[in-house]
Amino acid sequence: MQSSAPPPAVFAPIREALEIIEARYMDAVAATLLVEGAISGMVAALEDEHSGYIKPELYHRATDFSGEFTGIGVMIKNSEAAGELAVLSVIAGSPAARAGVKPGDVFYEVDGQSVSNFTLAELSAVVPGPRGSAVTITFQRADRLVTFDIIRDTFPLPNVSWKILSGNIAYIALLDFNDRARMQLEEALNAAAINNRAGLILDLRGNHGGKLTSAVEVASAFIKEGALMRQMDRDANEELIMAHGDAVDIAVPVAVLVDETSASAAELLAGALQAHDAATIVGAPTFGKGTVQSISQLSNGGGLRLSTSRWLTADGRSVEGTGIHPNILVEGASAEPGADAQLEAALAHLRGISGG
C-alpha cells in the first residue's frame, strides 16, 4: 500500500532552517552544502547502514560496474589506528606500477594539496580521473617523501584468479560481482580445463558483493533452472528471480569458501548454490546482508543509495543479521601460522568425494 504524499507544511521547517542559517550563522555557508547535509540527514533518519547519500563527485564510481577503472591502479587501505590512507596493493601493469608506487606508501599530497586528513571517499574523488590526464602524488615512504607524476589510464580490475591445487583440484577466487564477472569466471573455468579436474573450489571470502544482476548471471552458470532468490518489496509482494538457463557444463563437485567478509551478492550466490545442492559451503557464517539497494540520481549530480527490497534464499531463508551458514563450519583462525584451515577443509571434502 503506497503512502500518500505529505502536505507541504511538513517541509516548512527545512526551508525555515535553511533561511535562518543563511541569515544568522556566523560564517557564510554555501547553500549546496546545507542541501547535501539535509539529504544526508534524511537518509540517516532511516537508520539503515546500507542506504546513503552519494556526493556528485562520487556518483560515477558508485554506479560503475563495468569491471574497468580509470585511475592510477592502486588499492587503498584505511588505517584508522594510524590515521592514514596507504597503498594496499598495486595492480600489475598499471600507471602506478610503472611509476614505482609500492604497497605501504602513505598518501601525503595530491597535486600539491595535503590529503593527510582526507577520508577514503575524499581521496577516491581526487586520485582517479579521465584517461590521459596527469596527477602528481607525493607519498610518505618510511622516513622520506617520494613524488610521482602519473598519467591515468583505463584498465580491467583484477577480479578473478585461478590455480590448480594438490589433488588436481581447481581453485578460483572471485572478488566482486560486476559486468565482467560471468565472462571472467567462464574464462577461468576454461583455462583450468575444469572437467579434467577432481573438483572446484570457488573462493568468495573477501567478496563484499556488487551488482545483483551479475550475481544472478554467475549463479546461473552453476544452476540450470529454478529460483535463485526471492525478493520482497515494501508491500510484501514476492518476486522469484530465476536462473537464466545458460548453465556451464561443470561435471565435478564444487565447494564454496565463505566467511564473515562474504556479503550481499556473494551471499546470494552461496545461498542459491546451497539451496540447490549445487555446492558444499565451507567456512564461517557470512556477513548477513539481506537487503537490495538501488541508486537514483538527483538533479545536483549526486544520488541516493536506498534499500528498496528484502531478499530470501530460494528455499525461503532470511540472511539478514545471520548470514549463510556453511555446510562445513570452519573458523578462519588456524593454529599454524600461514595455514588456511578453511581451504584445507574444502580440499579434504573434495578429495573425500573423489577418493583422492
Residue 60 forms beta bridges with which residues?
none
**Positions of the chain with pLDDT under 50:** 1
User: What pLDDT score was predicted for residue 263?
Assistant: 93
Query: For cell 583455462, what's the residue?
Result: 191
User: What pLDDT score was predicted for residue 89?
Assistant: 84
How buried is 131 (Cβ within 10 angstroms: 0-12 exposed, 13-18 middle, 19+ buried)? exposed
**DSSP 3-state percent helix, strand, coil across the chain (nearest 5):** 30, 30, 40
DSSP state letters, 2-49 = PPPPPPGGGGHHHHHHHHHHHHHSSS---HHHHHHHHHHHHHHTTT-T
Report which of 291, 288, 292 is spatially closest to residue 319, judged by C-alpha positions. 288
Q: Determine how many CB atoms are found less than 10 A away from the CB of residue 128.
A: 17
Backbone angles phi, psi at 16, to 5 degrees: -65, -45
User: What pLDDT score was predicted for residue 355?
Assistant: 67
Q: End-to-end distance of the chain based on CA atoms, in angstroms?
A: 57
Backbone angles phi, psi at 96, to 5 degrees: -65, -40
* Sequence-distant (≥ 6) Cβ neighbours of residue 163 within 8 angstroms: 170, 171
Going along the chain from its start, the domains and CATH numbers come out as 69-156 (2.30.42.10), 160-354 (3.90.226.10)
Strand ranges (DSSP E) for 46-168? 52-54, 68-71, 74-79, 84-90, 106-110, 113-114, 134-141, 144-151, 153-156, 160-165
* Angle in degrees, CA 273, 349, 260, rounded to 5: 55
User: What pLDDT score was predicted for residue 180?
Assistant: 92
- What stretches of the chain show up as alpha helix (H) in DSSP? 12-24, 31-44, 56-62, 95-99, 120-126, 181-191, 212-222, 265-275, 341-354
Say how far apart CA 246 and CA 223 lie, in whole Å: 8
Q: Which amino acid is at 191?
A: A
